[in-house]
Structure 1
Amino acid sequence: MSQANPFEPLPTMATTPGLREWPALPRQFAWVAALVWLIGIASTLVTWSLYDDLDYADLLRQMAPFWLGHLLLSTLAAYWATSIYLERQGLAGYPQPALLMLAYGLAWLVVSWALGYALSFLYMWLYEKTGSYGAGRVLSDALWWLVGLVRFAVEALLTLWLVLHLFRRKARPAEAALRVSATTLARCFALGLVVISLQLNALVVRLFGGMLASELADGWSLLSALVSTGLFMLVTFFAARSALPVQVRGFNGGRLALACLITFALWFGSAVPGAIIVLATLWFGFAGSLVLLGLFAVLQLALLWPFTRLGLRWAYRAQAA
């Protein structure tokens, strides 16, 4: 009677198929989105050059934060949406990515031109109906901000989905689950929070009007905003990196977006009462108001760490690869 081999693996411990690496298509679409937006900036600069009575320095100071924020939004949205589509459809990639990128860039430019032409009439209608002063101006600016987000969703995300869907028959099916590094997920998470913060800041600046926007974009204020945004991104990145496994099974972009929203809601909810207290001390001229403002900024940065871990724990629930 032969004895069983003690080194033979048990049937229940059979090795599972290896996880596939992160595809290159999301990164390629992100580069296309960045290029399209840079083309838009270049066309705007060419249009400005046709006028002799424009203050180019002031215009650049006002538009630079918007351009940087929208450039980040465009690249991150293309990267994120492509990753979600590939994972949900079970696709590993496309055989001719250059053709897809060309189709996406041309579709974005054509749709953007058409929407820009159509929305110019909508802007004039809103201006006539709401006026340019008081509550009417605030309502018009808020509606125009929402229209801008809807326009971006149509020209950037809807065209991306159409291109991926039209070429889907030629796509390669995925034979294994996706393996994503914690660094990639933490980077996406941090940039997602920065995008949300920049969009909310753009709304606030728009509602307060052009004079405040010019002051906020001038000199040291712009530099201070860039530094605070950089610190915001660094804290959230390292907090997310410490909370995630080294390798995660699947991207799960929808849950990651929900984690971003939860984290930002917690952070913003804690910032509002503190900001009211700081503004009250500045308004009444109490001694040590500037010191209190600095302590409040440090406290808000510190709170990002536990809020990031809470958001990821409640919404994402990463599965280690």
Structure 2
Amino acid sequence: MTNPEPVRPDKVSAPLTRWVHTGVEAPYKLDVQGLVMQETGRGVAYSAELIHPEHGVVGRISNEERGGPTTFHSYAHEKFRDRDLTAFVAQCRQDGEPLDPTGVGVEILLDEVINEGNYTDLVAEMRRNGNFLVRSFEPRTEDNDGVRRGPALVYTRPVLRRAARDNLASELAKEPEHRLAEAAFWQMFHGQEWVPLLPESALTAEQTTARIDEVVALHKATTSPEGVMCRQLEDGMYAFSTLVRSRFTLIGDGTDFVNTQRWCQCKRRVAKPVRFERWSIRDGLLESGTAHAAKSCRRLVTVD
């Protein structure tokens, strides 16, 4: 029996990098700068400079929206030219499917570089201004030609409560331009990923009742003359409540404040984000997510 041939280092496939907003998996991230978009009679024309992570600006992506393809014009033929782009596309996937470098895969990739950059700018603006992003998402089905991601709709503040999101989805359904295809649904950017706007509850009815009963029992046993409670629950969360309005807040680190109106913009988060939950004795879990644990911040990292 012969020994198998050892795998050469240059034959080992490196893990792919996932582009958060477009579902592309690629050897590395390509960025853009100077994105210019303009409405035309046929659609939206656009152009931007392509940024390679090692070589910097290597060319321009453009589409004049006259029925032609999205094209790449290289500035640096010795560093990154058309054939390098084709080789790059051959290693890429989107939504689990490979991009075909001999067909429209290159054009798809160039369009998604633009889309990824546009979404990245919107997320940066969301963090600065305390906005909230929603988009439609249609998965691949037998009746369409692939996954479809709608343009981002921007709202002026984070929408944490499920009841408010239900209302938002209902309002969108009333507008013809926002009516969804049969398999489509709404997504929100939760701070790190695109997730369903209306997720299924992570708690059963029994778990919800048990949580409320635990907090009510602790509150009844409190000896604070103001009736203010700060007690640690069995799972480590801290409960804060006066129960004056039949509501209580759970926070993972014992600090009784999170700012749910603003997004964390800190460059570094040394500590793991802290979880928070806001509850109503009558309605159960109202809103939840994570916040930067640092007392100088306490702003949103993700929303559930």
Task: Give the TM-score taking structure 1 as reference length.
Answer: 0.22
Which of the two has greater helix per residue? 1
More strand by share: 2
